[in-house]
Chain A
Amino acid sequence: MPAKHLEASVRYPPGERAGAAVIELRGEIDGFSQEALDAAYAEAESRDPDIILLNFSEVDYINSTGIALIVGLLAKARASRRRLLACGLSDHYVEIFNITRLSDFMSLFPDEESALTKSAGA
């Protein structure tokens, strides 16, 4: 197996965007990604943010197992009454988020800027 599948790192934007955690994803979201994704999510949750934003701009592949992992994160976020957002998805994955109806439960934004700005007051 290739060593690299998914790298995930967590940032907490300062200032008016406080209360949000950004999980930057790089690589592929598939069956190999669970550990990295869960660890990043746990880290993001540790500061009890209202919003967790998944930034997919460096993600080039998401498969059905990856979708299942995102569903898992969404369920966790809903259970702890946090808002899960997504940005940086390619047109193709936006379509997939639409047909799976993931987009009904997590707002999709073109980029991090728009996600954090538009969701700040919501």
Chain B
Amino acid sequence: MKRGKNRWRLWRTVLGQGSREAQVIAPATEERVRSTEVPAPEIAPNDPILAYFQNVAGIVDVEKLELDSPALREMKSAGVKMAIPLVSQGELIGVLNLGPRMSQQEYSADDRKLLADLASQTAPAVRLAQLVRQQQAEAQERERIEQELRIARLIQQTLLPKVVPQLEGWSIAAHYQPAREVGGDFYDFMELEDGRLGIVVGDVTDKGVPAALVMATTRTILRSAAQRFDSPGEVLQRANDVLYPDIPPNMFVTCLYAILDPESGVLRYANAGHDLPYRRYEEGAQELRARGMPLGLMPGMAYEEKEVLLDHGDSVLFYSDGLVEAHNPEREMFGFPHLQALIGDHGANSEGTLVEFLLNELAKFTGEGWEQEDDITLVTLQRSEGVMSVDGPAVSSSEEAGGGENWRTLERLSVPSEPGNEREAMEKVAEVAKQAGLDPGRMEKLKTAVAEATMNAMEHGNKYRAEVPVVIEVLSSGKALSVRITDQGGSPVPKSEVPDLEAKLEGLQTPRGWGLFLIESMVDEMNVASDEKHHTVELVLYLKGEGDAS
């Protein structure tokens, strides 16, 4: 309660058995104890009588008092004879005003003493009552604010996605951490046609319920625009035009909208004044820039649209300013350069996810006992290193190999597509084959076949991209061993001519092109299968060679 702004109001109560009339001046917010027919005179905060009452000791004869005070004049004309200021701990908290005695006699010395005693005892009680009222009012105000916060939080949490989308070959994570006074952060995922994914990260200026309501509106507008328009720039343009007429003055929304094609890894994005996302790739961290004004500020805005190809192992971080604007105890800001450096440091082999890593770094930066100033939102999108999340295409080995349902997986391993790694694959498979009881005489054949098929997978399927592994599964049917070697090229090794050594020696054929020929010569069966993403070669060797000379 801000006392300086109060108007003081004169009010009257009856003391005793109606023998005296008394009036108390108290702050205007005080409830009247008894109604009165006399209009209560007001005392302006700058009226000199306030200073006088505060400093005078004892009873004031109003009629004798000479002061250039509008309130005094009003009191005199209202017939106030005596005023007894109520002062508690040096503070004027009220004034007891008395009119003439009903008997028309003057106030006696006893009366005056009684009144003075009464005033000195009443003042602390009135003060206490005032403080209790004040605290009740403050508690009500706090409750009202808490209630508003609960509503804002409820709106926000109801509208944020409950789960993150599951996309094959991608891992998507989201983290939302509201400040005590909920900011206007939001994020959203939208499933679009052709398996594409729309991603929104935004922030509404202002806090609490107004921000939550604008956030809810913006989310709805974006959802609707995203279904109608294919381009992120157009979606933001449409959202801005729809939002602009209805958004309250001085409010706006920063927002990043991106569309991911999970198949190709292409991310198209447009930005309405939001913090720039970062792409983490092999060489470090890169800002993804695109220009555009925040939503709701000006009508008819256009939004620049950009595109980036996310390679295997790349990730993108979308975030809100709550992260970069967090302060440490020295009042330094977390800042963009720090964030960019951290993202660059967080390699594919780092422990924990990027979100965990950044939250950990933020906690280190802010220290203990940090009161979060604003909402913190982190959304990450990571393209997998190429480890297949699904099995390769089904291959069908023959009845003779023991096929059907009898295959039992003995081992599943993967090697990065780097020259020379076929030897590692070969040795690992040989170890498993030995345990499975493959005839020692056939072991060398298996090793050559596995090495050649792995080389083909690394070279033709995975183009020797180290981050894309060749996945090898070793199975046994009890009668035969099956080694399924899968790459992520989705197309079989191009059929070369049957190698003809004479032609090669004459320079009519390349000296190379022995791989498939060798594989076919080494194994009892070779089966291949492809789907649009993978290519699998199955090598089958019977555990016991029949009439095998080697």
**Which of A12-20, A42-50, A95-103, A113-121 is the contact stretch?**
A95-103
> In the complex, A64 Cα to B510 Cα: how many Å?
12
Contact status A61-B423, CB under 8 Å: yes
Segment of B125-133, B291-299, B501-509, B539-547 engaged in the interface with chain A: B501-509
Complex interface: chain B residues within 8 A of A99 (CB): 518, 521
Per-residue CB contact flags for chain B residues 506-550 toward chain A (1 = under 8 Å, else 0) read 010011111101100100000000000000000000000000001
| CB–CB A92/B550 < 8 A | yes
In the complex, which residues of chain B have a beta carbon less than 8 angstroms from the beta carbon of A31?
419-420
- Residue from A28, A78, A100, A105 whose CB has the most chain B CB atoms within 10 Å: A100
How would residues 41 to 72 of chain A score, 1 for a CB under 8 Å from any chain B CB and 0 otherwise? 00000000000000000000101110111011
Asked if B314 is an interface residue, CB under 8 A from chain A, the answer is no
Which residues in B have their C-beta under 8 angstroms from that of A102?
501
Contact B504 A75 (CB under 8 A): yes
Question: Contact at B444–A92, with CB atoms within 8 Å?
Answer: yes
* Binary contact track B405-421/A, C-beta < 8 Å → 1, others 0: 00000000000001110
B550 near A71: Cβ-Cβ < 8 Å: no
Whether the pair B514, A75 counts as a contact (CB closer than 8 A) is no
Interface pair B501/A101, CB less than 8 Å apart: yes
The interface size bin for chain A is 20 to 34
Shortest Cβ distance from residue B419 to the other chain A in the assembled complex, whole angstroms: 6
> How many of chain B's residues touch chain A, expressed as a range?
20 to 34
B375 within 8 A of A: no
Is the beta-carbon distance between B455 and A64 smaller than 8 angstroms? yes
The answer to whether A36 has its CB under 8 Å from any CB of chain B is no
Given A30-B420, A64-B514, A68-B512, the answer on whether A90 and B505 have CB atoms closer than 8 Å is: no
**Contacting residues, chain B, for A63 (C-beta < 8 A):** 422, 448, 451-452, 455
| B499 interfacial contact with A, CB 8 Å | yes
CA separation between A95 and B518, bound complex, in Å? 11
B455, closest chain A residue (CB): A63
CB of B445 closer than 8 Å to a CB of A: yes
A68 and B504 alpha carbons, distance in the complex (Å): 9
Give Cα A101–Cα B19 distance, bound, in whole angstroms: 137
Contact: A95 with B511, CB < 8 Å?
no
The answer to whether B505 touches A71, judged by C-beta atoms less than 8 angstroms apart, is: yes
Q: B residues 458-514 with Cβ under 8 Å of A?
A: 499, 501, 504-505, 507, 510-514
Is the CB–CB distance between B420 and A32 below 8 Å?
A: yes
B residues near A61, Cβ cutoff 8 Å = 423, 451
User: Is residue A122 within 8 Å, beta carbon to beta carbon, of the partner chain?
Assistant: no
**Closest Cβ–Cβ distance, residue A104 to chain B (whole Å):** 7
Residue from the list B422, B445, B507, B515 in contact with A92, Cβ < 8 A:
B445
Residue in contact with B501 in the complex, picked from A30, A69, A100, CB distance below 8 Å: A100
Known pairs A92-B445, A99-B521, A101-B501; A68 contacts B514 (CB<8 A): yes
Residues A71 and B511 in contact, CB atoms below 8 Å apart: yes
Q: In the complex, how many angstroms separate the beta carbon of A36 from the nearest chain B beta carbon? A: 15
- Residues on A with beta carbons closer than 8 Å to the beta carbon of B513: 68
Specify the chain B residue showing the minimal Cβ separation from A65: B512
User: Known contacts being A64-B518, A90-B444, is A105 close to B455, with CB within 8 Å?
Assistant: no
Within 8 A of A (CB), among B52-106: none
Query: Which residue of chain B is the closest to A62 with respect to CB atoms?
Result: B448
Q: Taking the nearest CB of chain A, how far is it from the CB of B427, in angstroms?
A: 10
Rounded to whole Å, the gap between the CB of A58 and the closest CB of chain B is: 16
Pick from A71, A92, A105: contact of B448, CB below 8 A: A92
Contact with B along A1-43 (1 / 0, CB 8 A): 1100100000000000000000000001011100000000000
Contacts of B521 in A (CB 8 A): 96, 99
Among A5, A32, A67, A104, the residue within 8 A (CB) of B514 is: A67
CB-based closest 4 A-B pairs:
A92-B444, A64-B514, A68-B511, A71-B511
